[in-house]
């Protein structure tokens, strides 16, 4: 059996990740591909518990390194217990956020040293990486406007605007550093136009 492909979608809140992932999964299912959809942090039983610690607004005192380590703990659980087994069964896996988000949020947002994050990524992932990553890029302002009507913000969403500007800029830097894997998509376009671009690239896999 052919190993499945691993696709990740990233970007700031409100970029349109969930919207596009719905359509990506529909597209793959129409093609007769088995799909496992997941998200970070979380996606496993243990990972969802870690997620609730990470996003709990009561945990304001959490040290940035602790946040980083919890993100990678959740990721390890997801890779070992969900993503790799699914790929080996021939399923395609689509994840809402992945390692690029740790560089963007903990590296950019929290200003942790990117080299240290790379070391941790090597430790947890080794050579494992997505086959394709879509970076949905919108300005922080547009992203924030789109999620204005959402219910209460989580611990990370409560950060100030400059935090998200740094997040966006590290995402963009990574798409420039890894252009083969990370495809930057202008996510201010219409839902359908964005999805068309995504489908062309997915079909090339
Ligand atoms: N291309 C788009 N243009 C305008 N609005 C969009 C677009 N994509 C998504 N939205 C809307 O923006 C909001 C946030 O989208 P969502 O997919 O939940 O983003 P994310 O998962 O990245 O936070 C939703 O209300 C959604 O309907
Ligand atoms: Mg979402």
The residue-averaged pLDDT of 104-117 equals 98
Percent of the chain at pLDDT > 70 equals 100
Inside any domain, residue 73? yes
Instruction: Report CA-CA distances (Å) from 151 to 15, 40, 157.
Output: 17, 19, 11
Inside any domain, residue 89? yes
User: How far is Cα 195 from Cα 186, in angstroms, rounded to an integer?
Assistant: 11
The residue-averaged pLDDT of 169-183 equals 98
Please provide the average confidence, as pLDDT, over all residues in the chain.
Answer: 97
Res. 144 pLDDT band, cuts 50 70 90? very high
Does the pLDDT of residue 1 top 80, yes or no? no
Inside any domain, residue 123? yes
CA nearest ligand 1 atom 15, residue: 16
Is 147 a pocket residue for ligand 1 (Cβ < 6 Å)? Answer: yes
Whether the predicted model's global pTM rises above the 0.95 cut: yes
CB 132 within 8 A of CB 68: no
Contacts for 174 with CB less than 8 Å, ≥ 6 apart: 100, 103, 104, 135, 182
Inside any domain, residue 42? yes
Does the pLDDT of residue 150 top 90, yes or no? no
Inside any domain, residue 124? yes
The residue-averaged pLDDT of 49-53 equals 98
Tell me whether the omega of the peptide bond preceding residue 41 falls within 30 degrees of 0, making it cis.
yes
Inside any domain, residue 1? no
User: How far is Cα 76 from Cα 47, in angstroms, rounded to an integer?
Assistant: 9
Q: Which residue among 11, 14, 187 has the greatest number of ligand 1 atoms within 8 angstroms of its CB, and so is best to mutate? A: 14
CATH code of the domain containing 48: 3.40.50.300
Inside any domain, residue 23? yes
Report the number of distinct structural domains present in the chain. 1
pLDDT at position 110, please? Answer: 98
Q: State which residues form the domain around 37.
A: 6-203
Contacts for 7 with CB less than 8 Å, ≥ 6 apart: 24, 92, 93, 94, 95, 130, 131, 132, 133, 134, 202, 205
Which atom belonging to ligand 1 lies closest to the Cα atom of 15? 22
The residue-averaged pLDDT of 137-164 equals 93
């Amino acid at each position: 059996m052919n190993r499945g492909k691993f696709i990740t979608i990233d970007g700031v809140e409100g970029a349109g990740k969930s919207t596009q992932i719905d359509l990506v999964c529909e597209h793959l299912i129409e093609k007769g591909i088995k799909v496992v959809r997941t998200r970070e942090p979380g996606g496993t039983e243990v990972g969802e518990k870690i997620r609730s610690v990470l996003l709990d607004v009561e945990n304001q005192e959490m040290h940035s390194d602790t946040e980083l380590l919890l993100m990678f703990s959740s990721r390890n659980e997801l890779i070992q217990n969900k993503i790799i087994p699914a790929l080996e069964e021939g399923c395609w896996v689509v994840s809402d956020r992945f390692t690029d988000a740790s560089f963007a949020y903990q590296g950019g947002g929290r200003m942790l040293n990117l080299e240290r994050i790379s070391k941790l990524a090597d430790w947890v992932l080794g050579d494992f990486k997505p086959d394709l990553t879509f970076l949905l890029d919108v300005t922080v302002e547009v992203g924030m406007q789109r999620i204005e009507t959402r219910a209460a913000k989580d611990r990370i969403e409560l950060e100030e605007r400059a935090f998200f500007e740094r997040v966006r800029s590290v995402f963009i830097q990574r798409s420039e550093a890894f252009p083969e894997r990370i495809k930057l998509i202008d996510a201010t376009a219409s839902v359908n136009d964005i999805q068309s671009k995504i489908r062309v690239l997915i079909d090339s896999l």
